Every structure is written in structure tokens, then in C-alpha cells.
Amino acid sequence: MYEVRKRLEISAAHFLELNYPSKCSELHGHNWIIDVYLRGTELDENGMLMDFTHIKKAVTDKFDHKVINDVVDFNPTAENLARHICELLGPACFRVDVCESENNSASYIREES
């Protein structure tokens, strides 16, 4: 079994649609730290699960220096972003950790099928 982790940092803004009053309902930004985990038993013809550069490009092209609400069709909580990034990277991705500040992070871990 092979496993890789890629850490990314992006700068992006978002606002949350909440059913209670919160300053997070206003547009605000974060320097997000995103950890992506991939696992598999087979490597591609280059000897990789997925090229680190391709992981970075998939995430940064979509989110870096963007208003996340403009590029997704869901409420962009850290939890929802973690799930979306995991799905974006395909079946080899089994976990994504999204940290929007030093003390606030969320993880999505794909259920084994």
C-alpha cells in the first residue's frame, strides 16, 4: 500500500449562509492550509499515485485567490470544502484536512467501500 500527503496553502475568501447571526456570514478571507491524503496499491506508469504538481494544480486553480462562493454550489464551510476537494481528486484521495485558521480545522475521511 502506498500513501502520499500533499500540503497546500491557498488564499481565498468566502461567506457562510447560516441560520443564526454570525460574523462569518460576511465576506472574509483565510490563508487556508489544506492537507490531501492519497492511498493506493497501484502506481501509474510514472511510479506515482498522483503527481504532487497535479494535486496542487487541481486545488489551487479552482480556489486560490477566489471567492469560494463563486466557484461552488454549496455552503463553503471547512467541512464541505474538505469533502469537495476529496471528491475532486478522485478515488485515490481518502482524506482531506482543511484548516482555515490555526485553531479551526475540519476533516473529511472517505468511507471504505
Instruction: State how far the Cα of 19 lies from the Cα of 25, in Å rounded to an integer.
Output: 10
Taking residues 88-98, what's their average pLDDT?
A: 97
Angle, in degrees to the nearest 10, between helices 52-63 and 78-88: 130
Instruction: End-to-end CA distance of the chain: give it in Å, rounded.
Output: 16
Length of the chain: 113
**pLDDT single digits (tens) 23-77:** 999 999 999 999 999 999 999 999 999 999 999 999 999 999 999 999 999 999 9
CATH number for the domain spanning 14: value is 3.30.479.10
pLDDT of residue 54: 97
Q: What's the whole-model pTM score?
A: 0.94
The total domain count for the chain is 1
Give catalytic status of residue 99 as yes or no. Answer: no
pLDDT of residue 37: 98
Catalytically annotated residue among 17, 24, 79, 87: 24
The torsion angles phi and psi of 86, rounded to 5 degrees, stand at: -60, -45
Catalytically annotated residue among 17, 65, 111, 112: 65
pLDDT of residue 111: 87
Give catalytic status of residue 14 as yes or no. Answer: no
Catalytically annotated residue among 84, 86, 99, 100: 100
Domain membership of residue 96 as a residue range: 2-109
pLDDT at residue 113 tops 90: no
